[in-house]
Structures are given as C-alpha cells and as structure tokens.
Chains A and B, each alone.
Chain A
Amino acid sequence: MSNMQINEIVIVGGGTSGWMTAAALSNQFEHLLKKQSISITLIESDDIGTVGVGEATLPHLRFFNQKLGIDEREFMSATKATYKLGIEFCHWAQLGDCYMHAFGEYGKRHQNIEFHQWWLRAKDLMLAKDITQYSMAAIAAKNNKFQHPKPDQNSMLSRFNYAYHIDAGLYAKFLRDYSHQRGVVRIEGKISQVKQAGDSGFIQSLCLDSGQIIDGDLFIDCSGFKGLLISESLKVKYHDWSHYLPCDSAQAVPSERPDTLITYTRASARSAGWQWRIPLQHRTGNGYVYCSSFCEDQHAQDELLMHLDGNPIREPIQLRFITGKRDKFWDKNVVSIGLSGGFMEPLESTSIYLIQEAIGNLIDLFPDADFSAELQNEFNRLMDEEFYHIRDFLIAHYHVNNRDDSDFWRYVRNMQIPDTLAHKLSVFETQGHIVNYGQGEFLAPSWLAVLIGQKLKIKHYHPSVDVLDTTELTNMMENIENDIYINAAAMKNHEDSLMSFLANKSSKEYELYSRLRASKSLYGTTEK
C-alpha cells in the first residue's frame, strides 16, 4: 500500500479559480495544515493580473460557500453581492422578444406527469398563459422580488433556487483571507521557468522572476487562458469548439448602478453576439461577447456603450478567447482548474460552476504521490461529461433562433451542431420530452426555459395528459398561477430584502433554509 502522501500543493494563479481552490483545499485539509504535514502555496502575479470578469453565478456557489462554512451575510457584504433568480434573454428568439431562464421548476407535477406536458395541452386549447407565469422564480424576478426559499415541499416557495451576482475581485480577496487564516501561503511573483523531471515529464518546481524556487508534488494550474503548466509545459492539446460556439471576443465595462436593483442577469442578443448586464450593490457589470469574424472590435465597443443604462466607470477592457476544452484536464501531476482547463463562453454563468465541480472532483479523487492513472482518468471523464453537456446547452441558445437581421444569427442557425444536441432537439420538438443526462447540468427545467423561450415549436404533447377535461385543466393552470402570484406579491422587493438581510435582520426562511442540506442538482430544489 502506498504511503506517499502529497506534501506540497502548489496553486498557480490567484484569480477566482486559484482562490476557490486554495480555500476549498485549506478547508478540506485544515487538520493537516495545522500539523504542518502538508503545505499549500499559491503564486500570483500582480503584473499579469486576473481576467477581471466573471460575476454571475449559478445556485451551486451557495453550496460551495456552505461547505466552507462561509456565512451568507458576510459573503454578500464582502463581495457587494446581489441575489440572482435567473437570466433574462432578450432578442434571442427574435428581435423584441424576451424570456426568463429562472432557477426553479415550472408548476407542479400532477399524476406523476411533468407540469409542462399539462401546460402544452392547455396551451393548445388556449387555456394557459406563457410558461413563465408558472415559475415562482421567474415571476419573483420579473417583479424584482426576493426572499429565501422555504423548506416546506408543499409550498411554491420551495420550488425555486437562487444564486448571486458578485464582484469577482472581491470574492477572490475574500477567499484569500479565508485561505490565509487556514495556513495557505501566498507568494507574489511571476513564474518565469518551469522545471520538469526528465524521465516522467512531471513538474518538479517553478522558478520566479525573483529567482525563488518553489517545489511541489501536486500543481494546480489556475493560470487562466494561457495554461502555463497544462499547455505551455505539458503541451496538452486544446479542443477548439469555435465551429459550435463561434464567439471569440469580449469587451467589458462597469457602469454606475441604476436606481432599481434587479434580481437577474440580463443577456441581450446583439448583432454578432450578446451583451450582459450584471447588477451589483455598488455598480453594474456589462460586457459584449461577440464573434470577431462578424463584428469589428470598435463596432462592438460602440454597440456595448450605446446600450449601457448608467455611465461607464472606466474604459472597456478587451478580451480574446477560444471556446473549447483541454484534451485532459489532469495530466501527470498537474490539474487544470478554471480558464486553463477550458472556456465555453459566459452565457449561462457556467465557468465558476465548472471550477467548483473540478475542485469537488479533485477532493473526491485526491491522489497520493504515485498519481494513480485511475484517478486522473476518472477526473477527466467526469469533467469531459460536464463540458459536453454544457456545450450542447449553450449551442442551443444560438442555434434555435428565428432572427434574420444579421449574418451572425443566420450563421449560427444554420451551422452544424453535435449529434447529441440534434437528437435532444428533435425529441423535444416531437413531444416536449427532455433527454436526460446521466450526469451533470443542465436539468430539465433549464432546457425547458431555453427551448420554449427560443420558440422551438413542440408538435405534440404527451398522450397521458388527455385524462383531464378542460375544466379540470383550466383549474389546474389557474391554481398554480394564483399560488405563484400570491406568494410573489407577499415577497419583499429585492433591494429591501437584501439590505435588511445584510443589516443582520434575520430572515426566518434563510435560517431554516441554510440548515437544509445542499442540493447538488442545479435547479431542482431537493437532494437526489
């Protein structure tokens, strides 16, 4: 039996991924750090800086924080966070159109049949409204309301989930303090050389500009797009997915916050991509993600600035990327987490989620110094699955559109899509059935929101929903709609709810909810 425990963990990079990794490992191995039987060192370079974006999250982040024992109030104050109930997509299906992908389920299952099947039939009979009316999260979001979900499974208030908008720089700083308190050593400096073992190719040490040498057993590459270790040293291939996800550029600019603090991210489609708007307590984050083959940088910048709803606070920054993923996320003694492992564009705020998944998998599959191949293979398999599933979901947003006003939208509508997605779309079109994944995100409510929102026509409903007569069906739709309406009306407005929470006025729901076990499944509200 191997007794070669990993002693020195080195994290390269102090962006969101670096500090999330440091925090999670220092929490997991706090007992060993205390005994000084392991060390965790994080190297970051002030000269290089971080990517400086990444502010919208998925509900999973709450569970990451919970696992680390981070208090929600403290976290929200420190990161100037607001609550996020979903994403509003404007102009995606067609110009002038808007829909909400909210974090929660639609209606309620009835007779063991999913709500949307009842809705499809009711819609056919003109007995139902837009599906948004049957989502607690969407209605709360549209009305700028917020309260913590309730644990009581019978209540509509248990049928939604929430995430945050955060200032990513502040989050990294917050986690830096957290990690520091648990014994993580931070080194500021630029890595100029990487030393590999001649025979195995394993990384042995890193050399900084200052001449300092840092040895390590396990290296976690959080160095951003460049992949300092995984790509530049180990030469692990990158799978380029720009034929599916063609956006390759972004410009980002913060602006002054407007009077009203909305509870959702807005993603507005533009001529060659889309623009985000992320509300924080102190400012709004904005950015335009576009495809440079269809749009000049200057044009993109003009389009972005034209659509701000507050004055810009500084000059826009320009970013370039190639959508795709590493062939292996873990190779030899290097695990890539964050942008170094891959990037699929920020449309559904999935990068931080993927960081979190990678950290969770690394902890579950934490190696000894013999770096068993099975652990690496399993880690890579799990991460691959996550990437493929999210990739298909993102492509669907672009591909299923009816816009005819720009070359970009025509291109993405007609581009070749992966077979897995083509199958999923055709099953959904036939009868509203959502092909389930064996593993990972996104779950059925998200696909429903987006495919219905993008106006994919569903030809038939499931035959089982013919059992109710029209009166029963009407009652069912009305009851759910009313239930949601009444609950939403009773909620506080977002800003009031946030401010009173931060002012330490305890929210009974929050106290109850925070005691519940974390849910792993995205918008489902219960633990599997």
Chain B
Amino acid sequence: MKKVVILGQSSEAVLYAIAIKVRLSCEVILIKDINQPEPHRYIETLLPDTLRILNQLGLKEQQWLPEVDGVYCTAIEVTTADAYNVMLPFSPIGTNINGLDFHSVAFNTLNKINGKEFEAFSLGAQMSRKGKFVHPVNDDNSVLSSFDYGVNVDNIKFAHFLNAYAKYLNIEIIHADTLSFDWAFCENASENQVKTLRCNTSSKDVLEVHNIDFLIDSAESSYTLRADAQLDNIFENDISPSIQRQVSMSVEVNSPRLFSPQCLSLEVGQLFIRASSKTLCLQLFLQDGVSLIDGETALRKFASSYPYLPLINDEIAKGKVNTVISSKQPLKSLPWQANVIKASNLYELCPVLQGSIALHLENVMSFIDLAPNTSAHSSLRNEYNRQFVVRHNEYNSFAELVIHLMSKKQAAKLKSEKASRVLKLYQNTGRYMSEANQVVDNTYWLNILLVLAGSPNNYNKMLAIPSETRDILERIKNIISVTCEQLPETNVYMKHLLNQ
C-alpha cells in the first residue's frame, strides 16, 4: 500500500490518517470538503483504553490535554429512572481475596450488598464522588494503582488538535469537493477498485489523484457508490433506532462543577451531561417513538429544573444556548468493500461508554492490523468486516444492557443474546464469566451488573471465605476512604499540572 486517500473531516478520518502515517508510513492524502459546517460541539469522554491507543500513536496526554480543555475522570455517574444514583468506575471494584472474586466474597460476607455499597470499595468511584484526582501509580501494592482514568475533552478542540498533529506528520491536507471516481478492473484481485479521484479545489481547479491503493471514505454523505454492498441485517441485535437520534445543547461556563460524566435515564431517553474545563454539554439520545421536537422540549425542561445546572439556566435565559438536533442513519452495509472503507461514524454506538472516539480508534487499529500489502486482499477485508460486526454487536449489547438496567423496565425483553445471557447468569447466580479479547472490557460488564443489577437471587455460598474477611473488607473501605480524603481536588490538581 503506497497511497491512501481519506475523505472527510470527522475525527475518525483524521485518526485513520494519523495511524496510517505513523504505523504504515505510506503517502496519506486527507481531502476535506471546502464548505463543511463546523460540527456541533459536545464533550466526549476518552476512556482509559482510548488514551492508551492514542499514546501508542504518539499522541501523548501531556501534549493534547491543555489544548482540548481536558478534565480527568475516573467513573461515570449513573442515575436510573427511579432516581437511584451510583458510580460506574473504569477499574475493577475491590480486589481478589484469597484468589476469590471480590464480588463473590462480598456477597458471601455482606449478604445483600447493593450497587451503592460497592462504590465504597472502588477508589475510582470515590474519587469521582468527591471530585478528586491524581494519576495512578505503577505499584501493585498501593491503593493508588487500583483505579484508571479517562479524560473529558471538547470534541471540536480535540479535532483541531488532531488536525494539527496530522499536519505535523506531513499528511497532505487538501480542501476540495469530490467530483468523481474512476474504478478500474484490478487483475490481481479480480474486481473493480477505485484508482482515481477527481475533485474541485477551493481555487476551482480540478485536481486528480491517481494510483490510489486505498480509499477511506469518512465524508458525511458517502461518495463511493457501492450498490452491491447493501446487505441488510448484518447486525445481530441492532438497537440503533434508540440511540441514533439526539438533541444536544452546550454552553461555555467559567468553572463547571461537574467533573464526572453523568448518564441519566429520562422518560424520553438517555441523557448525558459532561463537562470540559470550559464547556458544559447535555446530550439526549432519544428513545424509539420520541420525536426530535419532543426531545428538545424535554431537554430544555430538564435543564431548567436540574438543580446542578444553574449556570446553564442563566445561559438559556440569555438565549446563549444552542440546541442541535441530529438524526443519523442506521448502518446497513459492511464497511470494507473493494479497496474502500466507509468509515463515517453513522451513529453513536454506546453513549454510556462514549463510544465514538473509542469505536473509531478500534476500527482504525483493526485496519492497521489488517492493512493490506496487496490489492488481492479479500480475506483481510472479510476479517476486518467480521471484527467490525463483532465490535458493533458487542457495543450494541452492552448499550442495551445499560439502558435496560437504567430504565428499570425489568420485564422488557433484551434483544441481544449476550446481554440477556450475561444478565440472567448474574441475576440467578451472582456470576460473571470473564471473556478474553472483549471489545467492551470485562470490567465494564461486571461493574455495570454490580452497580445496577441489584443483589443476585442466588450466589455461590460454598466458597471458603476466611473468617476475618469482614475485617478485611472494612479495612479496604477505610483505606479507600482515607486515601481519597487526602487526594487533591481535581481542579486544583489540574491547575497545578497545567502550570508545570
């Protein structure tokens, strides 16, 4: 692969460009539409794994944090339909005791322990509750190694940073409107592949890009015609209708008090409240059957009544808040066909995990792993598409489970086989069986069950629980609580860090 053309300005497009340049060292041309409206602003949480991958691509946290109004977080605050409020930490709750799972020990020792009580055994959850932060240490013996962190970022500023980084890597960025493509028969692969791209530059010249080996099409409207690619129902349990439409509002504020990303279950859908160091953003993902207008009304009503949001109320009163309504299309075809990947983020897959950048990066890294060194790459393509479907289904399953647990409609049937299996196993036995190579990490699956699924009906009572376990649990709780007390406030820590 020598020449890769990428269309579009989404962060996924730029991430593809950066990763291909860094990892495959080929010529990368990024073509952006001339008149693209600025994307709407929202705050995104980059999860721990996302930070690690960015780091691998040379995007070091210290460099970009100040540029994107970044704020650290260690958990997501979740509020269910019946106002139950609990923290979902990014790291395992508690610690194995005598080789036994923490939650099994906790069930056996404390009997009916609920989600809220589990919080006391997670430093990440406590830090989030108290608005504290330090970086974790790399020492297994320290409680300060027991949590993981993410960063809330301003999506537009993050995109600007990625663009600047792409330029720094000598990625050619052209502003032009795509006119047409030439497809040619590729003998080696026995199929038609895109070879030439024609576009109009801002100076109205027609620019032709020849000898394209690979095209990544991340433009809002797909340019590449792939009529043969319309495969319906490729996804096992597509719950996209419930999360593909959203209403969001954002407002600049001087010092937002909300550091933990919040996720609330409302009548009309799932609401996310996130803050960077300068902006507060509310994003409402609408449930099936709720119109965008009703969604907007509900969002405004929520904002005006929510006690933690006096700032946003003032801004609404001043008319400074813009609401953005957007509706995305469900995905119908496999993304990689011929030598083209359709990469635009069609809809948010798993809002509770802030799926977009995490998911983009996983798509990107999967492509890097399978990047072809030949035009006859049908098996690599099959594998990329297979992974894509697996990933998609897993995010869907997880999202469905979370929404199900938050909405408290216990009788509703889960569409996803995995979500339903995992939930039933947990409810009836208190168990979660870890799986290797999970797309959504085991920690999230288990934590969401522990904090939201309530005490299981039954659990293994035949474990050899040491008699002093109750004391051990008390000690863990104490250490966490005392440690957390001593930690600096997140904003103090960040100020100090940014001044350094």
Contacts and interface: CB of A to CB of B under 8 A. Distances in A.
B458 interface: yes
A358 to B, nearest CB: 14
B429 interface: yes
A438 B438 contact: yes
B437 A436 contact: yes
A430 B374 contact: yes
Contacts of A370: 458
Contacts of A378: 421, 425, 431, 433
B135 interface: no
A464 B368 contact: yes
Considering residues A31, A462, A528, which has the most beta carbons from chain B within 10 angstroms of its beta carbon?
A462
Given A423-B383, A433-B383, A463-B26, A372 B433 contact: no
A509 interface: no
Interface stretch (B125-133, B250-258, B322-330, B460-468): B460-468
Contacts of B500: none
Interface string B369-400: 11111101101101100100010000000000
A1 B458 contact: yes
Contact of B370 (A366, A433, A528): A433
A228 to B, nearest CB: 26
A3 to B, nearest CB: 8
B1 interface: yes
A464 B370 contact: no
Contacts of B380: 427, 430-431, 433
Given A1-B458, A368-B458, A463-B1, A431 B429 contact: no
Interface in B326-356: none
Nearest to B460: A366
Interface residues of A, number: 49
Contacts of A437: 436-437
Nearest to B377: A430
Given A372-B429, A463-B1, A463-B26, A5 B56 contact: no
Nearest to B425: A374
Interface in A237-273: none
B424 interface: yes
Interface in A425-471: 426-427, 429-431, 433, 435-440, 459-464, 466-467
B435 A464 contact: no
A423 B390 CA distance: 15
Contact of B433 (A365, A368, A462): A365
Contacts of A431: 370, 372-374, 377, 380
A415 B429 CA distance: 43
Contact of B464 (A2, A31, A361, A365): A31
B457 interface: yes
Contacts of A440: 436
A459 B379 CA distance: 12
Contact of B431 (A30, A365, A459, A460): A365
A430 B379 contact: yes
Considering residues B99, B372, B425, which has the most beta carbons from chain A within 10 angstroms of its beta carbon?
B425
A155 to B, nearest CB: 20
Contacts of A506: none
A28 B462 CA distance: 9
Contacts of B475: none
A460 B374 contact: yes
B379 A462 contact: no
B425 A439 contact: no
A153 interface: no
A230 B88 CA distance: 43
B458 A112 contact: no
B106 to A, nearest CB: 16
A382 interface: yes
Nearest to B459: A1
Contact of A429 (B25, B369, B373, B379): B379
B464 A438 contact: no
A427 B464 contact: no
A439 B374 contact: no
Contact of A1 (B1, B99, B457): B457
Interface string B123-165: 0000000000000000000000000000000000000000000
Contacts of A302: none
Contacts of A463: 1, 24, 26, 371-373
A427 B24 contact: no
Contacts of B379: 423, 426-427, 429-430
Q: Could you tell me the dominant secondary structure of chain B's interface residues?
A: loop
A377 B26 CA distance: 48
Contacts of B438: 438
B23 interface: yes
A67 B464 CA distance: 14
B192 interface: no
Nearest to B442: A528
B291 interface: no
A25 B368 CA distance: 46
Interface in B443-487: 457-458, 460-462, 464
A378 B425 CA distance: 8
Contacts of A32: 462, 464
A381 to B, nearest CB: 8
B428 interface: yes
Contacts of B424: 374
Nearest to A428: B379
B382 A374 contact: no
A427 B382 contact: yes
Given A431-B373, A463-B373, A5 B462 contact: yes
Contacts of B436: 437-440, 521, 528
B374 A459 contact: yes
Given A364-B431, A375-B429, A467 B25 contact: yes
Contact of A438 (B24, B99, B377, B435): B435
B429 A374 contact: yes
A280 B380 CA distance: 44
Contacts of B371: 462-464
A382 B382 contact: no
A294 interface: no
Given A374-B425, A377-B421, A366 B462 contact: yes
Nearest to B374: A460
Contacts of A38: 462
B271 to A, nearest CB: 32
A75 interface: no
Nearest to A370: B458
Given A437-B437, A438-B436, A464 B464 contact: no
Interface in A1-21: 1-3, 5-6
A29 interface: yes
Nearest to B213: A463
B488 to A, nearest CB: 33
A433 B421 CA distance: 31
A433 B369 contact: yes
A316 to B, nearest CB: 40
A403 B430 CA distance: 52
Interface string B1-25: 1000000000000000000000111
A368 B373 CA distance: 55
Nearest to B376: A430
A372 to B, nearest CB: 5
A40 to B, nearest CB: 12
B374 A438 contact: no
Given A374-B428, A459-B374, A466 B25 contact: yes
A297 B394 CA distance: 50
B437 A438 contact: yes
Nearest to B458: A2
A429 B390 CA distance: 22
15 contacts: A1-B457, A1-B458, A2-B458, A3-B461, A6-B462, A364-B433, A365-B433, A374-B428, A374-B429, A375-B429, A438-B437, A439-B437, A461-B373, A462-B371, A464-B371
Given A2-B457, A423-B382, 13 more contacts: A1-B457, A28-B464, A67-B99, A112-B23, A372-B428, A374-B425, A375-B431, A426-B379, A430-B374, A431-B377, A433-B383, A438-B437, A521-B436
